Structure 1
Amino acid sequence: MTIDRVDPPTTSDEQTSLVAWLDFHRDTLLLKADGLDQQQLAQRLEPSALTLGGLLKHMALVESSWLSRRLLGRPMIEPFESFDWSTDRDWEFHSAADDTPEELKALFAASRAASDEIIRAALADGGLDTRSALPSRDGGHFDLRWILTHLVEEYARHNGHADLIRESIDGATGE
């Protein structure tokens, strides 16, 4: 797989910047998992239980949860929507070891494509001020700006984890 990661523009409007940083961090996670087999994607860096495969599956869930479920009030993509989360709150992390690299990357790509479609439509309709269908814990509603910023933050945090995990697998470092 060839990942053609593009640096975000150094000057741009808010909307362009948020989407560019989201894409940059998505591609960074894919780069960290690139070229690894199923066993390597399931490898842990003790004492953490995190794996690169688990991070791919988790971020597919996170995007679907925030954009499909929270922003639009619609079901998440499968397999996330039909899973009984009361049986394992961290199922996406635990089950990733059973998934092939192709399955994990296809799930990530499907979630990303669905998210991109939602983002494009929301930006065309209400822009960054588009409000979430579902409320926050305090009863307010998120705007798309907040959601995109949160997604960038979530990817950035997990990409730091991915850096360490990948280095422990084969010594690969860098962006």
Structure 2
Amino acid sequence: MGMSDAQRTDTPLRADEVTTLRAFLDFHRDTLRWKTDGLDQAQLATPLAPTTMTLGGLLKHLAFVEQNWTIQVLHGRPSLAPFDDAPWDEDHDWEWHSAAGDSPQELRVLYDAMVAASDHAIDEALARDGLDTLAAREHRHGGGRFSLRWILVHLIEEYARHNGHADLLREAVDGLTGQ
């Protein structure tokens, strides 16, 4: 295994809001990398009954989540490849299902590319109006536009939930445990 628990981003005990939010987001990104590191394609495609969720599916789903919230919602830009021409009408969970056909390297490269694009989009928004930057898109159920602050907290929440899944999936695959 290449990455370990000790290599994850440390979260500061005392820092400004932006530094704290970004450190927690990076901590959770690193946790997902750690939980999926060193596994082959079959291991990344192994579900843990009764769910069909896999570690590879988590990587691809969170790559989608990153670009969806920061590229599409925050900036109102088109979805990035491969999500831009995915057959969403045929399979609403395409990213979860298609991950089984992707190699570990493809999944990791896609994930890291979407994280980099997301970080760039976050930097752009921070430079504009800081955490108070409003998203280009409105909430689909009304209530107005999301703030960058809300988007960052939501990304942290999304990772925290899915990293719990990753803990269980990884332990089932090869016995690796740890938070």
What per-residue deviation string (whole Å, max 9, x for no partner) do you get for residues 79-125 of structure 1?
00111311100000000000000000000011000001011111111
What per-residue deviation string (whole Å, max 9, x for no partner) do you get for residues 50-88 of structure 1?
000000000000011111000000012100011131110
Q: 1:87 aligns with which of 90, 107, 122?
A: 90
CA distance in 2: counterparts of 1:70 and 1:6, whole angstroms: 26
Q: Which runs of 5+ in 1 are unaligned?
A: none
The equivalent of 1:44 in structure 2 is 47
Q: 2:36 aligns with which of 16, 30, 33?
A: 33
CA distance in 2: counterparts of 1:59 and 1:36, whole angstroms: 18
SS in 2 for 1:145: helix
Matched pairs, number: 175
Q: CA deviation at 1:163?
A: 0.0
Q: Which runs of 5+ in 2 are unaligned?
A: none
Is the counterpart of residue 67 in structure 1 residue 80 in structure 2? no
CA distance in 1: counterparts of 2:142 and 2:124, whole angstroms: 27
CA distance in 2: counterparts of 1:171 and 1:124, whole angstroms: 43
Is the counterpart of residue 135 in structure 1 residue 130 in structure 2? no
CA distance in 2: counterparts of 1:150 and 1:40, whole angstroms: 28
CA distance in 2: counterparts of 1:26 and 1:151, whole angstroms: 10
Q: CA RMSD in A?
A: 1.0
Contact 2:3 2:33 in 1 (8 A): no
Given the two structures, how large is their TM-score scaled by the length of structure 1? 0.97
Identical amino acids, percent of aligned pairs? 58
Q: CA deviation at 1:2?
A: 3.9
The equivalent of 2:150 in structure 1 is 146
